[in-house]
């Protein structure tokens, strides 16, 4: 059996930024427009008026200050309210592949690796741009990687589930070095016309190189153990899919064809589920909470992370022990914990132990225990 290690990570950050102020201004203009268009129905009591969003609420409820997106012009246009992308020909790299490629090249450079050293690509993300061929195979081809590639989707937990899949194959010897990429175009499935959630997501791509520890060329993180768990819930759901046109009204502009969640319920269910999962994972491999130097948690909600951190450590974590990036990126689904790891791990010392943990729709939770070397 080989010991797997993370030897490189990379983050692709879209250039365009939407601040909470810009987001709220666009949403409120849309709400006013809808209320004017439906004034008669509202006056007759047949319809409730749309309420304004607020910057104060967004920051207080989530900790989010801004988000990076692939196209802000459509999102901020009250006549559009979603991103607008140009049509690409089938011979051009797809958008997700382009984002993943940027992150992958950074991760490979950090690991000191060439694409030819990799023999497995997993594209693990919440949404795939098309049904097939797999995004991962396109990314494999664009990078010039031999071997094999496949897609997987476990929503916000996709990255940690992908790392577990790659680490297990590495241990068993079926692959030598893997690239796990997480291109997340969350702006595409977010309902920007719903104030309950319009502030939640941003776009980004992350990549992780995993290889045999004895072959690492520089500082790296030994993968001590991984653990994944799932439990079915409808509290985060998106009904869009390939059977859409087959169902009555399936092609209509329906709310359930975008991201939907019962945020309060998710919060209440997921905090204890994740805290228990981490405690059991660490307990089973004999690592006490006080040995954990850092936690890179899923980036959905600051209060949620504060509560999980406190339960795991048995005290309030210092900000550097549990770095958050959601203020800058918002929720980037599976990529969030990997951005936190990538941007806040270089300073760790030989032997330091840390934990990546992601959680979300499914429900799903994945944890990766790491030890720093070099």
Per rule CB under 6 A, is residue 62 in the interface with ligand COA? yes
Residues 123, 156, 186, 228: which is the catalytic one?
Answer: 156
Assign 223 to helix, strand or coil.
strand
Nearest approach, Cβ of residue 108 and ligand COA (Å): 28
d(CA 297, CA 339): 10
Q: What single string gives the DSSP state of each residue in 65-108?
A: -EEEES-HHHHT-TTT-S-------TTSPPHHHHHHHHHHHHHH
Nearest approach, Cβ of residue 141 and ligand COA (Å): 30
d(CA 34, CA 22): 19
d(CA 261, CA 351): 40
Instruction: Pick the closer one to ligand COA by CB: 94 or 364.
Output: 364
Residue from 100, 145, 361, 365 touching ligand COA (CB under 6 A): that is 361
Q: Which two tokens stand for residue 148?
A: 């094999």
Contact 340, 305 (CB under 8 A): no
Instruction: Pick the closer one to ligand COA by CB: 196 or 284.
Output: 196
Pairing outcome for strands 203-212 and 120-124: unpaired
Assign 300 to helix, strand or coil.
coil
Q: Which of 288, 281, 309, 303 is nearest to 366 (CA)?
A: 281
Nearest approach, Cβ of residue 372 and ligand COA (Å): 28
Nearest approach, Cβ of residue 138 and ligand COA (Å): 25
Residue from 263, 310, 313, 373 touching ligand COA (CB under 6 A): that is 263
The C-alpha R_g of the chain, in whole angstroms, comes to 21
Per rule CB under 6 A, is residue 68 in the interface with ligand COA? no
Per rule CB under 6 A, is residue 96 in the interface with ligand COA? no
d(CA 256, CA 238): 6
Nearest approach, Cβ of residue 277 and ligand COA (Å): 15
- Can 197 be counted among the known catalytic residues? no
Nearest approach, Cβ of residue 178 and ligand COA (Å): 25
Per rule CB under 6 A, is residue 26 in the interface with ligand COA? no
Per rule CB under 6 A, is residue 261 in the interface with ligand COA? yes
Residue from 7, 20, 53, 364 touching ligand COA (CB under 6 A): that is 53
Per rule CB under 6 A, is residue 67 in the interface with ligand COA? no
Site string for ligand COA, 154-183 (x = CB under 6 A): --x---------------------------
Contacting ligand COA within 296-355 (CB under 6 A): 300-301, 304, 331
Q: Which of 82, 173, 91 is nearest to 138 (CA)?
A: 91
Place of tokens 């939907």: 260
Going 99 to 20 to 58 to 48, the CA torsion angle's sign is negative
Task: Give me the active site residues, please.
Answer: 156
Chain residues in the site for ligand COA (CB under 6 A):
53-54, 57-58, 61-62, 156, 195-196, 199, 236, 261, 263-264, 266-267, 300-301, 304, 331, 360-361
């Amino acid at each position: 059996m080989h010991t797997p290690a993370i030897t490189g990570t990379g983050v692709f950050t879209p250039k365009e930024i939407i601040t909470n102020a810009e987001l709220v201004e666009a949403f409120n203009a849309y709400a006013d427009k809808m209320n004017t268009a439906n004034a008669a129905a509202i006056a007759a009591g047949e319809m409730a008026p749309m309420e304004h969003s607020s910057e104060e609420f967004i920051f207080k409820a989530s900790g989010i200050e801004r988000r990076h997106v692939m196209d802000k012009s459509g999102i901020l246009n009250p006549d559009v309210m979603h991103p607008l992308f140009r049509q690409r020909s089938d011979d051009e790299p797809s958008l997700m592949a382009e984002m993943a490629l940027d992150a992958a090249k950074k991760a490979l450079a950090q690991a000191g690796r060439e694409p030819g050293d990799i023999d497995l690509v997993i594209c693990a993300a919440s949404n795939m741009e098309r049904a097939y061929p797999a995004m991962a195979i396109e990314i494999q081809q664009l990078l010039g990687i031999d071997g094999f590639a496949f897609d997987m989707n476990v929503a916000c937990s996709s990255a940690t589930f992908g790392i577990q899949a790659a680490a297990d194959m590495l241990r068993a010897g079926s692959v030598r070095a893997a690239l796990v990429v997480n291109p997340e175009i969350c702006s595409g499935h977010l309902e920007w016309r719903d104030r309950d959630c319009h502030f939640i997501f941003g776009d980004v791509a992350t990549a992780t190189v995993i290889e045999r520890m004895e072959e690492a060329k520089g500082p790296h993180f030994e993968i001590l153990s991984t653990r994944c768990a799932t439990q079915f819930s409808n509290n985060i759901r998106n009904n869009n899919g390939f059977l859409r046109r087959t169902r009555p009204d399936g092609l209509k502009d329906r709310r359930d064809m975008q991201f939907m969640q019962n945020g309060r319920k998710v919060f209440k269910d997921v905090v204890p589920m994740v805290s228990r999962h981490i405690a059991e994972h660490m307990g089973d491999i004999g690592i006490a909470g006080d040995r954990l130097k850092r936690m890179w948690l899923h980036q959905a909600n600051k209060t949620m992370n504060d509560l999980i951190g406190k339960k795991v450590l048995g005290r309030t974590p210092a900000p550097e022990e549990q770095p958050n990036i959601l203020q800058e990126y918002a929720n980037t689904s599976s990529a969030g914990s990997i951005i936190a790891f990538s941007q806040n791990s270089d300073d760790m010392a030989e032997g330091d132990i840390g934990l990546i943990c992601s959680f979300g729709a499914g429900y799903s939770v994945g944890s990766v225990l790491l030890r720093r070397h070099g």
